[in-house]
Amino acid sequence: MQVHRHYSRAPVTEAIIDLKVTLPEGFSVDDLENIHAHISDRFPIKEQIHAGSLLFQSGPGLKP
């Protein structure tokens, strides 16, 4: 059995959990937000982060 150490001055004090899922049809982001009520005693801080990305590539059908 693996023993987990507890460091009194651990360098990490917070973390970001990035979940990427395919939601079933009819399931909304509001449904995900409702889950926080059930776990807020263990995870009291909830922050929304909005991110996006774009990728531009040239290919055989495009002229540079």
Please indicate, yes or no, if residue 51 is contained in any of the structural domains: no
pLDDT at 48: 80
The per-residue pLDDT string of the chain (64 residues; one tens digit each, 9 = 90 and over) reads 677 777 777 777 677 777 787 878 998 878 878 888 899 999 888 888 788 888 887 777 655 5
Please indicate, yes or no, if residue 38 is contained in any of the structural domains: yes
Please indicate, yes or no, if residue 34 is contained in any of the structural domains: yes
Please indicate, yes or no, if residue 9 is contained in any of the structural domains: no
The overall pTM is greater than 0.75: no
Scan for tokens 């049809």, then name that residue. Answer: 25
Please indicate, yes or no, if residue 25 is contained in any of the structural domains: yes
pLDDT at 13: 67
pLDDT at 41: 93
41: domain range? 19-45
Please indicate, yes or no, if residue 57 is contained in any of the structural domains: no
Please indicate, yes or no, if residue 10 is contained in any of the structural domains: no
- Transcribe the chain into DSSP letters: -PPPP--TT-S-----------PPTT--HHHHHHHHHHHTTT-----------------TTS--
Please indicate, yes or no, if residue 39 is contained in any of the structural domains: yes
